[in-house]
């Protein structure tokens, strides 16, 4: 046997332990993904959704206050913000709309908008110098790590077959 065949045999013999270790790593990554998804769901459903309800209720009060007849929610409402809305009167004239923080000093609207945007940032912040807390990016990176681990596992498992002929 050559030194090369000895090394290949050594590699074959190590495969099962390496695969077991990778399987444990994959389980850990799956648990982390599940935890991050659970956190993201809690932020969305436990904080952001109630803030949408609070904002909607506040707008109903504003609609009465400004003699409005209906509220139109824009395409970004509850997607990138909760301030994409307008209140119209019966002649389709805008009687009230969001014009930025402190435009009318409604403390509740300001609070709801700021809290919702803070929560959105907690979910969407990409990994980088601005922080590493964004759950979406963490989940994405963990899924990439899992894919890498699975690819390594597959290659290791195949190595037993491919190396065998040359390890004798």
pLDDT in tens, 9-67: 999 999 999 999 999 999 999 999 999 999 999 999 999 999 999 999 999 999 999 99
What global pTM score does this model have? 0.85
94-97/85-88 β-pairing: antiparallel
pLDDT digits (tens, 9 = 90+) for 52-97: 999 999 999 999 999 999 999 999 999 999 999 999 999 999 999 9
Task: Give the count of domains, the chain.
Answer: 1
Position 132 pLDDT exceeds 70: yes
Report the chain's C-alpha Rg in angstroms.
27
Q: Can you give the residue range of the structural domain that contains 69?
A: 3-164
* pLDDT band with cut points at 50, 70 and 90 for residue 1: low
d(CA 102, CA 100): 6
């Amino acid at each position: 046997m050559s030194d090369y065949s000895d090394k290949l045999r050594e590699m074959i013999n190590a495969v099962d332990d390496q695969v077991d270790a990778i399987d444990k790593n994959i389980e850990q990554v799956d648990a982390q993904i599940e935890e991050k998804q659970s956190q993201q769901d809690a932020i969305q459903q436990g904080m952001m959704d109630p803030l949408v309800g609070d904002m909607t209720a506040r707008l109903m009060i504003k609609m009465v206050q400004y003699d409005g007849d209906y509220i139109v929610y824009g395409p970004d409402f509850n997607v990138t913000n909760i301030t994409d809305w307008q209140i119209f009167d019966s002649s389709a004239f805008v009687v009230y709309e969001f014009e930025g923080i402190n435009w009318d000093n409604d403390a509740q609207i300001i609070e709801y908008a700021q809290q919702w945007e803070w929560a959105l940032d907690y979910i969407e912040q990409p990994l980088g110098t601005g922080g590493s807390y964004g759950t979406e990016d963490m989940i994405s990176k963990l899924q990439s790590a899992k894919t890498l681990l699975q690819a390594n596992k597959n290659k290791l498992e195949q190595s037993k077959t491919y190396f065998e002929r040359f390890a004798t």
